[in-house]
Amino acid sequence: MVRPMLTPEERERGRQLGAALRAVRGPRSMVEVAAVSGVAIETLRKIETGRIVTPAFFTVVALARALAVPLEALASAEQQTLTAVS
């Protein structure tokens, strides 16, 4: 099965999600967040840098739980970049 190409808007949404996750992660290391979430560190790195613009839903859920941020906040990343959550 061939995956259809992403639109520029979909790519931008993915970049914004990555930026939001990076902002929420704050001073915590990628290693720490990856360990708590169960998501591979390389996957987290790719999401944060925009190389994975359409991460799996359950990956986003695991990261949101590990970062103690509601999914709704990450969904609104399209509208604005999140500020770090303490």
Domains and CATH numbers, the chain: 1-11+29-78 (1.10.260.40)
pLDDT given at position 77: 61
Q: Give the 3-state secondary structure percentages of the chain, helix then strand then coil, rounded to 5.
A: 65, 0, 35
Nearest-angstrom CA–CA distance, 30 and 11:
22
pLDDT given at position 86: 40
pLDDT given at position 78: 52
Q: Which amino acid is at 77?
A: A
CB atoms near residue 9 (< 10 Å): 9
Return the SS3 of 61.
Answer: helix
Average pLDDT, 10 consecutive residues per value, the chain (86 residues): 84 90 94 97 95 93 95 72 44
pLDDT given at position 82: 45
pTM for the structure as a whole: 0.82
Nearest-angstrom CA–CA distance, 27 and 6:
32
